[in-house]
Amino acid sequence: MELRAAREAAGLTQEQTAQELEWSLSKIIRIEAGTVRVAVTDVRVLLQTYGVTGERVDNILTLARAAREQGWWHAYRKVVSQQLFELIGYESAASVIRQFEPLIVPGLLQTSAYAREILFQLRGEESADKIDDLVDVRIRRQEIFERPDPPQFFYVLDESAVHRLVGGTAMMRAQLAHLLEMAKQPNVTIEIVPFNAGAHAGLAGSFHMLDFAAPEDDPVLYLEGVQGEIVGRDFREDFVRYRERFELLRGMSLGPEGTAVLLSGLAEKL
């Protein structure tokens, strides 16, 4: 983000930068998209090209050195999709995470047993080892709740997500109990849109939004469906539309207190 801002401030396009440095255009694109680790020497060359001087050079070089350090998820790069890989990286830096799920419990709120059953049903053609790795990734992502400065989490679920009996009564009872425990955390809000709310905009599918503390950092939108995954920071208009949709769904929900009553009642019936 800093490199893109510096390039734009210098009045250069990605194509012009590539020509100036005799680099491939794809290299500039990948660096600015954050899909590759960038060498500190390359960052220094880019900053010189953009005319960046003074303390800002030191700050950006510090960022570049930190970016060379790999997060835990790099060990699973061959296991997860590129889109999910990027999402996990964004999660590690997010200050606010919002997610709507119409069909299943969100991954960060799943128990390991529930996660394994869901992944087996969705990825049953994969080997047992691959399923194990995917479960490990899902559970390790949940370490974000234990960070010293965890994000604020806002989850909205359609009621069908908590009625669907995944893995049998014992497994689902444990999953509902886990949701109730997670909802007690001061930075976690869980709300359910009830069946009697009727048809709503969330029926179009799940979506995931991430905001960051720095105002210059664009938010991230993550969409997942039968046709694949999309993750990006360049969907400003789409992000506004999905943010409005999310708040609309929150307004239709039972709220945190009503949601807790519903979850407790469902757990008692199992």
Q: Measured between alpha carbons, how far is 89 from 105 in angstroms, rounded to an integer? A: 21
Domains defined for the chain, CATH in brackets: 2-67 (1.10.260), 72-269 (3.30.870)
pLDDT tens for residues 106-143? 999 999 999 999 999 998 889 999 999 999 999 999 99
Of the pLDDT bands very low, low, confident and very high (cuts 50, 70, 90), residue 188 is very high
Average pLDDT, the chain: 92
pLDDT tens for residues 199-250? 999 999 999 999 998 777 789 999 987 656 787 767 778 889 999 999 999 9
Question: How would you label 44-58 residue by residue, b for 16+ Cβ within 10 Å and e otherwise?
Answer: eebbebbebeeeeee
**Residue carrying the six token digits 């005319």:** 51
Given a cut of 90, whether residue 69 has pLDDT beyond it is no
The pLDDT of residue 191: 98
Per cent of the chain over pLDDT 70 is: 98
The pLDDT of residue 232: 74
pTM equals 0.80
**Residue carrying the six token digits 């020497």:** 41
pLDDT tens for residues 78-115? 999 988 998 998 998 899 999 999 999 999 999 999 99
User: Which secondary structure element, helix H or strand E, spans residue 98, and what is its range?
Assistant: strand 96-101
